[in-house]
């Protein structure tokens, strides 16, 4: 290809936020990339827009919601997001969470319209870790199964950094007795 043709093609390339983010991630070393993912992976789920800006975070609501066993952080975050943003916006957002959303939370994420979920530890591994904890009688059903039953796409990325995510969960459940 001639240099003039290459120049014309490069001038036609639009630097979208997604392309800029992809270029930035490609330039990172493996350790830097892992560190970037760790920043996103906290014990509390975070909703981020398409440019990676955190929009909202949610802690577990069991205690603050008066012992409500359905007050999982991911469900509460999905409900808040559904009230705050329209479907078109949420379809471009990502929910980052340390553990794979359970079936209930995956349903809430789907109904809210959040377009992507990135998680650390699988629901199966969380079940093995917490056992028959009264606050977490885990449904061992992958969120991909719930999302696949829906009519709009929900991208799932995970598991990522399972050991680190398992440690976050261990620290959380240690405080729960």
Tell me the catalytic residues: 74
Tokens linked to 167: 């440690």
DSSP states of 121-165 as a string?
E-HHHHHHHH-S-TT-------HHHHHHTSSS--EEE---SHHHH
Task: Tell me which residue has tokens 């598991």.
Answer: 159
Query: How many of the other CB atoms lie within 10 Å of CB of 30?
Result: 7
CA distance 168 to 177: 15
Contact between 93 and 49 under an 8 Å Cβ cutoff? The reply is: yes
Helix (H, G, I), strand (E, B), or coil: what is residue 111? helix
């Amino acid at each position: 290809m001639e240099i003039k043709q290459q120049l014309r093609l490069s001038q036609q390339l639009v630097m979208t936020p997604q392309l800029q983010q992809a270029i930035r991630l490609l330039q990172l070393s493996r350790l830097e990339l892992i560190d970037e993912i760790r920043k996103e992976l906290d014990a509390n789920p975070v909703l981020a827009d398409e440019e990676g800006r955190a929009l909202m975070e949610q802690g577990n609501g069991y205690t603050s919601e008066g012992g409500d066993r359905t007050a999982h952080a991911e469900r509460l975050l999905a409900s808040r997001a559904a009230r705050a943003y329209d479907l078109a916006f949420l379809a471009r957002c990502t929910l980052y969470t340390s553990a794979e959303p359970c079936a209930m939370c995956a349903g809430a994420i789907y109904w809210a319209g959040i377009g992507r979920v990135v998680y650390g530890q699988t629901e199966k591994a969380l079940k093995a870790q917490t056992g028959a904890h009264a606050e977490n009688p885990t449904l061992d059903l992958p969120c991909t199964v719930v999302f696949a039953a829906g009519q709009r796409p929900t991208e799932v990325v995970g598991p990522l950094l399972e050991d680190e995510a398992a440690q976050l969960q261990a620290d959380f459940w240690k405080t729960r007795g």
